[in-house]
Structure 1
């Protein structure tokens, strides 16, 4: 007697416009960012200009004859740039909560796990199909990427207005701290792709990791911490607290959430 269909078969049996079921896309929670994970490097663009953005945001693809002169030779362009990146987006809870709140802003999730990335991509397609009349969710997509290695391959200098780092792997052991998504060197890459005035949003339920991220961002000359009413009144902060998968799990378990926001400062002028 044949056993139950495999997860891949179940995914392929899904009808067009049907929402994917998370149980068929489950994957282990932790991934080593120093591994190549099925040669991600071979699928990463050589530079942001090499990205085929229309496949992710077809509603925003440039129409023939409408491109500026410097883009006319490159058909892989869109009418505006991605502005928001959710690094380690997981199953996309934050992405799909932000998309209708910011319908004219392009939002991209970056996820290292292949099955989880596929789930987010399929959910984006399903939501677009279900909301075809309103055009909602055309502004959200997901890419499989190792951002610890290839973030500048996707985004140009000063492109992003917001970066989210939601419940990143805490890597508790001291010998694994080098795998944390916040570090002196990585903060310099975040500073490179962020525009002045842009914000990095962090949230975790691990106080030690929270203190680590605060320490490293405050020590970086390109960032300052945002505090007080500007944080509490930020719709992105409230969405980040309540809509991520991990955030909901922490809520169910009556755990604590530690939030910190950092603003990208203007670069000093050359003497």
Structure 2
């Protein structure tokens, strides 16, 4: 199967996460059909890493190679974009029969349904890479990092699990950092420990948005926090 071409899967960058979208999701984590989601029959995956708003799957593909023994799942709200990631994974599996079996994508709304997919303290890493800034004050409720949502993320992360955020928008960086600093269940990772984290280079460089920021000589503002 040839690799899908992004030009056939382009979709506007902004999607209202509070709108009523049509997609399937489990009522409870115990009902999540992981064998179907990962297209596997010889084992039942247990998801470790989640990329929220995974875009065209750059980080997911990197995670598949970097952590071959861990399962990574992308959440993407846009139909065409999630279709692209799914076809990309199928193509890579066909080219490399023993690889990329540990990565998949679902079209779902992380703001509403993360806890429908995952039980308490089950995830090791959560990624929020170059999220939509939602600049207007009345749309800040759409931001994927907020005090309320951080409580859900803390519920899903194991003790010692990490949350990664990166943006090129200074105002959004300050917002996310303040939300994380003020939340009682998260502590910042020291800068020297961040640079020793093997996933951080891929957080900065693997996504389409990250590459665009680099081409434009923009700044990438990174935060990494640990679940207490």
TMscore range, shorter length: over 0.9
SS in 2 for 1:161: strand
Distance 1:235 1:60, change over 3 A: farther
Q: Whose relative contact order is higher, 1 or 2, with alpha carbons under 8 Å and at least 6 apart?
A: 2
In the TM superposition, what is the alpha-carbon distance from 1:227 to its structure 2 partner? 1.8
Unpaired runs of 5+ residues, structure 2, are: none
Match of 1:237 among 200, 216, 220: 200
C-alpha root-mean-square deviation of aligned residues, in Å?
A: 1.0
Distance 1:55 1:231, change over 3 A: same
SS in 2 for 1:218: helix
TM-score scaled by structure 2? 0.97
Residue 115 in structure 1 maps to residue 96 in structure 2: no
TM-score scaled by structure 1? 0.82
Instruction: Give the Cα–Cα distance (whole angstroms) in 2 for the partners of residues 56 and 173 of structure 1.
Output: 36
Aligned residue number for residue 70 of structure 2:
105
Aligned residue number for residue 26 of structure 2:
45
Show CA shifts across 1:188-220 (max 9, x none): 000011000000000000011011001001111
Aligned residue number for residue 90 of structure 1:
55
Residue 157 in structure 1 maps to residue 120 in structure 2: yes
Instruction: Give the Cα–Cα distance (whole angstroms) in 1 for the partners of residues 114 and 53 of structure 2.
Output: 12
Show CA shifts across 1:236-260 (max 9, x none): 1111101111000000000000000
In the TM superposition, what is the alpha-carbon distance from 1:232 to its structure 2 partner? 0.8
In the TM superposition, what is the alpha-carbon distance from 1:159 to its structure 2 partner? 0.6
- What does 1:1-271 align with in structure 2 at a 5 Å threshold? 17-37=1-21, 39-40=22-23, 43-59=24-40, 61-62=42-43, 78=44, 80-132=45-97, 135-265=98-228
SS in 1 for 2:48: strand
Show CA shifts across 1:38-76 (max 9, x none): x23xx11101111111123244643xxxxxxxxxxxxxx
Instruction: Give the Cα–Cα distance (whole angstroms) in 1 for the partners of residues 221 and 53 of structure 2.
Output: 17
| Rg larger in structure | 1
Unpaired runs of 5+ residues, structure 1, are: 1-16, 63-77, 266-271
Moved over 2 A (4+): 56-62
